[in-house]
């Protein structure tokens, strides 16, 4: 390699000054840890924000134009369901009910819950059962409870446990698992659509969403166009998730707060790394001057400094990612903890680390290029 010799010298200069080297690593590691932690928390919040869409698993969702999140449904009249079922390209369409309620437990305590009512005939969107028989949902007063982080709030119900919901008796006939926990911190109950709208007080209209299965991918665009003519909107699962994510990112304080904390983390890492790297360059000016005196060109010194900053940044990045991964793994022993790492988190932190390395390198390069061997040896 053409510059292997000068790069080897730069690496030895870097690691031999252990105090400065460890300080550089600490600054970058700390910055990566904070940036990853903030963005991982935000990714976890978004993942739980559209957990209803994930858990139901429908290909398309028909809803009112004013809906922002899956849990803020705006009821639609029954004729919309009939119209959607008759549309070209629709294989089948079923209603979905989502509402909130207050249940009275056997111990006399009250607990808020989310109630999801799935189509009576197909039970489309029901969760997978861990315990119980799905056919029992057709018995009187029956519900399925989701065993997630909020499950203990219902006093750890078992098959046959009874409770009271709006002066109606309810009985647990199934315990289910879902792919994603909810965001609102309340337990979730599933039942049939007709039972849900009977037990829960509603407005004149009762359909929260219409779940649609298109005949093929080509039919999606046609279905969207036909639904718009009705005055409503049809979104695919991915589009509904993105819409929910955009709402929490841009229309609530969550996105702004996370962004501010991420920028602060970046500034902290940049300030520590930039100052430490600049001090390192100052303390080794004589060595850079000596390299110039024996024939090292400015271009070679620039490559050396870039190499030193990049090596430090990559090692710090790896340590930061490992530290935040360990932190999340330990914290997720608590099922309420929502942070998750994604490729987006990793790429964002990597990009910011490269910026830190570039700015630190620029600070050092400016100083090194100004030195003259004569000044060094004269001193």
pLDDT digits (tens, 9 = 90+) for 300-343: 878 888 888 888 888 888 998 999 999 888 888 877 777 888 88
Tell me which of 209, 237, 266 is where a domain ends: 209
CA 303 to chain centre: 38
Grade residue 376 by pLDDT with cuts at 50, 70 and 90.
Answer: low
> Does a structural domain hold residue 231?
no
What token pair was written down for 255?
Answer: 């996105």
pLDDT category, 375, cuts 50, 70, 90?
A: low
Domain boundary among 209, 224, 245: 209
Statement to judge: residues 96 and 175 lie in one domain: yes
Cα 5 to Cα 15: distance, rounded to the nearest angstrom: 16
Residue 66 maps to a domain: no
Whether 324 and 43 have beta carbons less than 8 Å apart is answered as no
Instruction: Considering only residues 320 and 21, tell me which one the structure prediction assigns the higher pLDDT.
Output: 320
The number of folded domains in the chain is 2
Residue 309 forms part of a structural domain: yes
Task: Report the mean per-residue pLDDT for the chain.
Answer: 86
Higher pLDDT, 27 or 215: 215
Per-residue model confidence (pLDDT) at position 348: 85
pLDDT of residue 91: 93
Average pLDDT over residues 222-247: 93
**Among the listed residues 208, 218, 226, 242, the one whose alpha carbon sits nearest the alpha carbon of residue 76:** 208
Query: In terms of residues, how long is the chain?
Result: 379
User: What's the domain range around 195?
Assistant: 92-209
**Residue 122: inside a domain, yes or no?**
yes
Is 169 in the same domain as 103?
Answer: yes
Same domain for 174 and 117: yes
Do residues 263 and 325 share a domain?
yes
The pLDDT, as a whole number, for residue 182 is: 78
User: What is the mean predicted confidence (pLDDT) over 102-112?
Assistant: 89
Report pLDDT for 3. 62
Does the pLDDT of residue 202 top 90, yes or no? no
pLDDT at position 298 is: 75
Is a pLDDT exceeding 70 seen at residue 176?
yes
Domain C-terminal end among 180, 209, 238: 209
SS3 179: coil
- Asked if residue 265 and residue 372 are part of one domain, the reply reads yes
Q: Does residue 373 carry a pLDDT above 70?
A: no
Check residue 103 and give its pLDDT.
92
Range in 195-199, 212-216, 368-372 with the lowest mean pLDDT: 368-372
Place of tokens 């911190």: 185
Burial of 159 (0-12, 13-18, 19+ CB in 10 A): middle
77 occurs within a structural domain:
no
């Amino acid at each position: 390699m053409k510059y292997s010799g000068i790069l080897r010298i730069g690496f030895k200069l870097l690691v031999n000054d252990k105090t400065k080297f460890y300080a550089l690593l600490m600054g970058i590691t700390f910055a990566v840890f904070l940036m990853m932690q903030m963005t991982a928390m935000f990714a976890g919040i978004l993942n739980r924000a559209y957990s209803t869409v994930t858990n139901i698993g429908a290909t398309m969702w028909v809803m009112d134009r004013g809906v922002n999140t899956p849990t803020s449904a705006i009821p639609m009249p029954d004729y919309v369901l009939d119209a959607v079922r008759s549309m070209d390209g629709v294989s089948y369409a079923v209603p979905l009910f989502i509402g909130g309620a207050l249940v009275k437990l056997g111990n006399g305590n009250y607990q808020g819950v989310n109630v999801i009512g799935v189509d009576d005939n197909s039970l489309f969107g029901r969760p997978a059962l861990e315990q119980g028989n799905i056919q029992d949902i057709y018995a009187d007063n029956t519900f399925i409870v989701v065993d997630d982080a909020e499950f203990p709030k219902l006093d750890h119900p078992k098959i046959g446990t009874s409770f009271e919901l709006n002066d109606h008796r309810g009985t647990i006939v199934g315990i289910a698992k879902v792919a994603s926990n909810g965001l609102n911190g309340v337990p979730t109950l599933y039942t049939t659509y007709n039972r849900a709208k009977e037990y829960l007080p509603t407005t004149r209209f009762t359909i929260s969403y219409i779940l649609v299965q298109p005949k093929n991918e080509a039919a999606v665009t046609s279905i969207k166009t036909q639904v718009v003519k009705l005055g409503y909107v049809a979104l695919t699962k991915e589009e509904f998730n993105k819409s929910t994510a955009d709402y929490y990112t841009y229309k609530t304080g969550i996105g702004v707060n996370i962004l501010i904390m991420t920028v602060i983390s970046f500034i902290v890492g940049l300030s520590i790394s930039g100052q430490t790297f600049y001090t390192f360059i100052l303390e080794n000016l004589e060595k850079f001057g000596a390299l110039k005196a024996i024939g090292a060109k400015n271009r070679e010194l620039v490559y050396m400094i870039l190499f030193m900053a990049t090596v430090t940044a990559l090692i710090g990045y790896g340590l930061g990612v490992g530290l935040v991964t360990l932190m999340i793994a330990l914290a997720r022993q608590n099922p309420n903890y929502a942070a998750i790492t994604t490729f987006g988190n990793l790429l964002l932190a990597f990009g910011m680390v490269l910026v830190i390395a570039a700015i630190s390198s620029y600070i050092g390069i400016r100083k090194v290029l100004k030195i003259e061997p004569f000044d060094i040896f004269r001193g």
